[in-house]
Amino acid sequence: MRFPVHFWIGVVTLALSEGAMLAHVEPFWTWHTPFAWTGYILILDGIIYTKRRSSWLTRHFREFVFLAAVSIPLWVVFEGYNLLIKNWYYVNLPENLVLRYFGYAWAFATVSPGIFQTAELVAILRGGRRTGSIEADTESRRLLRVDYELATADYVSVVFGAAMLLLPIIWPSPYLAAPVFLGFIFLLDPINAWSGDDSLLRDFRNGNYERVTNLVIAGFICGGLWEFWNFWARAKWIYTVPIVGNVKIFEMPVLGYFGFPPFALECFAMYVFTRRLFWRGSRRTIAV
């Protein structure tokens, strides 16, 4: 099996950052999270390419740049909610504000790419196969009439999702993490389906549960890696979750790990919604 060059760059980046972080060598000790996730994403992309002869970086590089860029404001949405629910905070950040916000942006830019690359690798390991041309599929979506009619349950979902997202704004509480990490699924996925785009609801109505399974598994994997790489880093996040907050694996309370799978679904729904508004190039199918 011959891996592309960027796979080996990822291996070196991850190994170097891991070793230097444990030895408290800068900048890897402080910046381990973005270094580790960059290496991880390069490694996964290389593996995916060897399996499918197609990957985000080799066939959809422009969209990958777009994905990484929009991953920043999409995660900032959750940072905004955290100002209200106060479930985590950061320590040992660089004092220089330029460096600090560069580090924020770099780390946030790896969130959605990390989840989607992991989900695609999960799809491969589970025996998933892409059919047809991704570019042709994209063009057919542009020409296809919207064939999904919103049912009553879908309208209820949109209203329910909006209410979940409004609740922490109206009544800030550290106990309201669940509405934040579920609300965008209920709000945006029916809209994506009605717009003729990729959505979990369209998959369900077609009897297809592969995408949701791949994303859920990817959420657990990425959650474990986030907490594993965060634990020994100097600049890190600390949780203040009020429910069983002292029973932890790394820095994350055990119950918090069950929030990562719905977060992966939210990232999917939020990205599809954003991509439809702002992206006009070819699209890579996500998590299948």
Mean pLDDT for the chain? 91
Q: pLDDT tens across 145-202, in order?
A: 456 677 888 899 999 999 999 999 999 999 999 999 999 999 999 999 999 999 999 9
Amino acid 187: pLDDT: 97
Residue 40 lies in a domain: no
- 254 alpha carbon, distance to own chain's centre: 20
Amino acid 140: pLDDT: 40
The type of residue at 245 is: G
The dihedral built from the CA positions of residue 196, 202, 205 and 211, taken in this order, carries a sign that is positive
Residue 121 lies in a domain: yes
What DSSP state is assigned to residue 247?
A: S
Q: Is the pLDDT of residue 142 over 80?
A: no
Confidence of residue 132 (pLDDT cuts 50, 70, 90): very low
Amino acid 252: pLDDT: 87
> Between the CA atoms of 199, 202, 205 and 207, what dihedral angle is there, to the nearest 10 degrees?
-70
Confidence of residue 138 (pLDDT cuts 50, 70, 90): very low
Q: Which domain holds residue 96?
A: 61-278
Amino acid 217: pLDDT: 98
Lowest mean pLDDT among 116-130, 133-147, 168-182: 133-147
Total count of domains within the chain:
1
Find out whether 186 and 166 touch, Cβ atoms under 8 Å. Answer: no
Residue 8 lies in a domain: no
The closest alpha carbon to 178, from 89, 87, 115, 113, belongs to: 87
Confidence of residue 242 (pLDDT cuts 50, 70, 90): confident
Residue 29 lies in a domain: no
Tell me the whole-structure pTM to 2 decimals.
0.91
Lowest mean pLDDT among 38-47, 217-226, 238-247: 238-247
Lookup: tokens for 48: 């995916």
Confidence of residue 144 (pLDDT cuts 50, 70, 90): very low
Q: Is the pLDDT of residue 141 over 50?
A: no
Q: Longest Cα pair distance anywhere in the chain, in angstroms?
A: 57
Residue 180 lies in a domain: yes
Q: Pairing between strand 88-91 and 248-249?
A: unpaired
Q: Is the pLDDT of residue 16 over 50?
A: yes
Lowest mean pLDDT among 50-54, 136-140, 162-166, 282-286: 136-140
Residue 56 lies in a domain: no
Confidence of residue 239 (pLDDT cuts 50, 70, 90): very high
Residue 42 lies in a domain: no
Residue 16 lies in a domain: no
Q: Is the pLDDT of residue 210 over 90?
A: yes
Task: For residue 237, list its beta bridge partners.
Answer: 90
Amino acid 100: pLDDT: 95
Helix residue spans in the chain (DSSP H): 5-22, 32-52, 56-59, 61-85, 97-109, 111-125, 134-143, 152-170, 177-194, 200-205, 210-231, 260-278
Please state, as a whole number, how many other Cβ atoms lie within 10 Å of the Cβ of residue 26.
10
